[in-house]
Amino acid sequence: MEMEELREELIETIQAHYERRELSEIKLVLNELNPADIAEVLEDFPNQRLLFFRLLSKENAAETFVELDPDTQETLLHGITDTELREVLDEIYIDDAVDIIEEMPATMVKRILKNTDSETRRSINALLKYPEDSAGSIMTPEYVDLKKGMTVEDAFKRIRRTGVDKETIYTCYVTDDSRHLLGVTTVKELLLHEYDDIIEEFMETNVIYVNTLDDQELAAQQLSKYDFLALPVVDMEERLVGIITVDDALDVIQEENTEDIQKMNAMLPTEKTYLKTTVFETWKSRFPWLLLLMVSATFTGSIITGFEEKLATLTILTAFIPMLMDTGGNSGGQASVTIIRAMSLGEVAFKDYFRVVWKEVRVGLVCGLSLAAVNFVKIWLVDRLLFHNSEITLIIDVAICLTLVVEIVFAKFIGCSLPMLAKRVGFDPAVMSSPFITTIVDAVALLLFFGISSAVIPQLH
Amino acid sequence: MEMEELREELIETIQAHYERRELSEIKLVLNELNPADIAEVLEDFPNQRLLFFRLLSKENAAETFVELDPDTQETLLHGITDTELREVLDEIYIDDAVDIIEEMPATMVKRILKNTDSETRRSINALLKYPEDSAGSIMTPEYVDLKKGMTVEDAFKRIRRTGVDKETIYTCYVTDDSRHLLGVTTVKELLLHEYDDIIEEFMETNVIYVNTLDDQELAAQQLSKYDFLALPVVDMEERLVGIITVDDALDVIQEENTEDIQKMNAMLPTEKTYLKTTVFETWKSRFPWLLLLMVSATFTGSIITGFEEKLATLTILTAFIPMLMDTGGNSGGQASVTIIRAMSLGEVAFKDYFRVVWKEVRVGLVCGLSLAAVNFVKIWLVDRLLFHNSEITLIIDVAICLTLVVEIVFAKFIGCSLPMLAKRVGFDPAVMSSPFITTIVDAVALLLFFGISSAVIPQLH
């Protein structure tokens, strides 16, 4: 809350200055802020965006531009001159330029590329060619490279000379003349060694890297696993072509989490933030799964239709359908979500399939038995004795509770199996989640309920 | 896949060396690896853990120890001598020591504290006092502090002298004599300035920090928002007491995401990884919600009971119950999950409530109308004409489709409202998710269905 109050206060201050046309005051206030906060202010003043943007120092302007929403970036790009654009482009890192370009219409891309020097343009074009969501698409070619024969002093000279344009200088890569990775060291290591020590003598030679075509999620996981600040990316010939920094890995992790959560809940992933997504875009992401699940649920309906005659002779059974369907769906959903998450965190792989199934079946049995016990007593005490529902017999109570146990075990089994099998054959496991599992379990729960009831309840024979 | 193959190959190599008792070979192989990978090897050789651990260099031993599961840490602690323990404790950072201690039984905690020097012990005890999930509980007191009058050369001297024990040296904090934060600078800045420049002249004075009692999630969000490598933590008197590094922020983000996903799917959060959790622990995290939702679903059942007589006169209606319930539940789930995620990413706050509701109601209307249209045609063509189900009349078709539209709008409304209201009154919004919303929407869907049917279908009058 405190945070939000501070922000509102800031907005009011700027508004007041603006109303009194005190632009030099606004300039002072804005340039004091962190670029991420300046970006928020610009988003809050849609009509003054360009004016405020022009009050920023060169460095702040560039860093703020990177933080803005693509829509705001586009509006600003329409307003600023080529000179201003060049100043922004000179300051920003190449991976950020690529991110911006990917969201712009073709004419704007042309204008951006026209205003970069030829070397940067070449780098940008190379990065644009990598497939979406690949390590190559999020890397930056701006890293510090050293040679193995350098002394610590040489290294610092090189960093001082070239470091200003590098996204991170703290991890330094040692390469040979054809850019093959020989080793890696850090500024911390360099600082803790003597000036005349040779890099080769203390560099880490077991270098962990990813390939340009590896998934960006893998890159982020590696960075997180090894607690690195940057991860090197190599091409097919194992030559160093770029690095991925930890702040980009963080963004990837949040993005992938959001995507997983959307898929797990029957939505197609959307890239924009919630309030920026239009009603139609939101509809597009939600309708297909709703439709598919609605159609599937009509099959469940036809199972009921097939049993209608018997249900008519013992209508009380209908009252238990929602409970059986919901509990089965929730049980299966729990299992599937747990497994999907464990797989995406790398805790579980396909080789663990039988261990997972064995565990889920036992969990299912314990959950089933405990819920059935509660239910058995509840049906007898509440429905039968309290509400005098004479239709309920002991054997009906047993049939319901038996269905519960079997369906929960089945739900846990199918809930953990489908995501693992989906991943095995190359599908995204996240879509094999609650809503999908629920639809299957619903149908199975009804078949079990009607099957078991028909078998054990004498009235239905 | 490639990764897993590499790991299996490594395991086989070590296994082969072990069978031939080639411990010096194993020592070579292990010490070449990154500590995170050594930890995985130790987990894979439960019986040789202590033996292998003793083959590690002092530095690797300490770094590997930090990466191990608490269970493995405890086993190793039982095996190693006090001297070995002291060597490990000397090398690791204080926040990691605190993490380890938090998972150990009391006797082991005593032994650990006995083997640390008194200053470290004091720091550890101070950190242990911060509430779980607070910024204080994940910070480390080992940071680089500088004085504003220092030159760049002084700063580098200080970093070289004290840096080896600091978790990160790249962000340096400028404090006054009573440890109040005056500014912040980075090693990159230092490297790009002349040796005789004074820090005060170029340090950043707009320092972003959190308080020890702030939520760890807020700290992680700030780090991610500003792309920092470390975030300072101050106490109630605004004195600098520690820092949170980006690798810890990454862990917090993954942990919080897992927790949200568990809560969103009707589970109590568990801390251990999936395969380490026992059947009983898994049951404990899943049973309470299943029970609660099962009991709630019986109310839905009693709605059906209350309508049983009318259902008996027009049994075909029962066949549409699963479709109506599932579609309502899925629609509400989509809305709630989207809002919960948007709130946890900071994209939506309570002040946006009416904007959100207005958007969800419109999305609900579009989803409802489009699904109803499909459904209307499907019921007529498939159920009525193809399957000759003469019970279905035009008015029944209308009643079903009307229910669909109204329930979806309601589901979207309740789906976005409950999480926002929950957060407003201080509850965790993540539990107001699909399973909970589904249960409410189920009941409402049935009431709507029966209400609308009774009103418009002549047979039910």
Per-residue pLDDT, averaged over B331-341, amounts to 91
Check whether A433 has a pLDDT greater than 50. Answer: yes
Query: In this predicted structure, what is the pLDDT of residue A415?
Result: 93
Check whether A1 has a pLDDT greater than 50. Answer: no
Strand order in the sheet with B144-146: B144-146, B171-175, B181-186
Mean pLDDT computed over every residue of chain B: 89
From the centroid of its chain, how far is CA A61?
29
CA distances from B161 to A188, A447, B157, B169, B170 (A): 12, 73, 6, 11, 14
Would you place residue B377 in the very low, low, confident or very high pLDDT band (cuts 50, 70, 90)?
very high
Check whether B1 has a pLDDT greater than 60. Answer: no
pLDDT tens digits for range A181-216: 999 999 999 998 999 999 999 999 989 999 999 999
A300 CB neighbours in chain B (<8 A) are 322-323, 326
- Closest-approach residue (CA) in chain B for A345: B254
Nearest to A225 among B36, B261, B322 (CB): B36
Question: Please, are residues B274 and A363 in contact by the beta-carbon 8 Å criterion?
Answer: no
Question: Please, are residues A61 and A42 in contact by the beta-carbon 8 Å criterion?
Answer: no
B229 CB neighbours in chain A (<8 A) are 170, 229, 246
The answer to whether the Cβ–Cβ distance between A323 and B289 falls below 8 Å is no
Distance from CA of A113 to the nearest CA of B (A): 26
pLDDT tens digits for range B23-44: 999 999 999 999 999 999 998 8
Query: In this predicted structure, what is the pLDDT of residue A233?
Result: 95
Nearest to A290 among B322, B331, B356 (CB): B331
Interface mutation target, options B250, B303, B350, chain A, most CBs of A under 10 Å:
B250
Per-residue pLDDT, averaged over B246-270, amounts to 88
The answer to whether the Cβ–Cβ distance between A322 and B333 falls below 8 Å is no
Among positive and negative, which fits the CA dihedral B379, B382, B387, B390?
positive
Check whether A292 has a pLDDT greater than 90. Answer: no
Which amino acid would we find at residue B453? Answer: S
Query: In this predicted structure, what is the pLDDT of residue A265?
Result: 84
Query: In this predicted structure, what is the pLDDT of residue A318?
Result: 85
The answer to whether the Cβ–Cβ distance between B323 and A333 falls below 8 Å is no
pLDDT tens digits for range A37-93: 999 999 889 899 999 999 999 989 999 999 998 889 999 999 999 999 998 988 888
Question: Please, are residues A145 and A173 in contact by the beta-carbon 8 Å criterion?
Answer: yes
Nearest to A188 among B163, B304, B345 (CB): B163
Q: What are phi and psi of B390, to 5 degrees?
A: -75, -15
Please report the ipTM that was assigned to this predicted complex: 0.84
The answer to whether the Cβ–Cβ distance between A262 and B338 falls below 8 Å is yes
Would you place residue A409 in the very low, low, confident or very high pLDDT band (cuts 50, 70, 90)?
very high
- Both tokens assigned to B447: 């009431």
Among positive and negative, which fits the CA dihedral A306, A335, B253, B422?
positive
Query: In this predicted structure, what is the pLDDT of residue B299?
Result: 83
Query: In this predicted structure, what is the pLDDT of residue B76?
Result: 92
In this prediction, what percent of chain A has a pLDDT beyond 70?
99
H or E segment to which residue B183 belongs: strand B181-186
Check whether A315 has a pLDDT greater than 70. Answer: yes
pLDDT tens digits for range A332-389: 989 999 999 998 888 888 889 999 999 999 999 999 999 999 999 998 888 778 877 7
Q: Which residue has the tokens 């004419």?
A: A107
Non-local CB neighbours of B129 within 8 Å, separated by 6+ positions: none
Query: In this predicted structure, what is the pLDDT of residue B314?
Result: 83
Would you place residue A219 in the very low, low, confident or very high pLDDT band (cuts 50, 70, 90)?
very high
The answer to whether the Cβ–Cβ distance between A366 and B291 falls below 8 Å is no
Query: In this predicted structure, what is the pLDDT of residue A299?
Result: 83
Nearest to A374 among B223, B291, B323 (CB): B291
Q: What are phi and psi of A194, to 5 degrees?
A: -75, 155
The answer to whether the Cβ–Cβ distance between A254 and B253 falls below 8 Å is yes
Distance from CA of A330 to the nearest CA of B (A): 7
Nearest to B294 among A33, A275, A375 (CB): A375
Check whether B372 has a pLDDT greater than 80. Answer: yes
- Closest-approach residue (CA) in chain B for A346: B273
Q: Rounded to an integer, what distance in angstroms lies between the CA atom of residue A327 and that of residue A324?
A: 5
Would you place residue A434 in the very low, low, confident or very high pLDDT band (cuts 50, 70, 90)?
confident
CA distances from A432 to A267, A332, A355, B330 (A): 12, 11, 19, 14
Q: Rounded to an integer, what distance in angstroms lies between the CA atom of residue B230 and that of residue B228?
A: 5
The pTM score is 0.85
Among A192, A255, A237, which residue's Cα sits nearest to residue B159? Answer: A192
In this prediction, what percent of chain B has a pLDDT beyond 90?
50
Q: Rounded to an integer, what distance in angstroms lies between the CA atom of residue B132 and that of residue B217?
A: 12
pLDDT tens digits for range B379-426: 888 877 887 777 888 899 999 999 999 999 999 999 999 999 998 888
Would you place residue B2 in the very low, low, confident or very high pLDDT band (cuts 50, 70, 90)?
low
H or E segment to which residue B173 belongs: strand B171-175
Q: For the packed helices B94-102 and B58-67, what is the interaxial angle rounded to 10 degrees?
A: 50
pLDDT tens digits for range B442-454: 899 999 999 999 9
Distance from CA of B95 to the nearest CA of A (A): 15
Non-local CB neighbours of B439 within 8 Å, separated by 6+ positions: A326, B293, B296, B297, B300
Would you place residue A2 in the very low, low, confident or very high pLDDT band (cuts 50, 70, 90)?
low
pLDDT tens digits for range A246-266: 999 999 999 889 888 888 888
Nearest to B301 among A225, A260, A320 (CB): A320
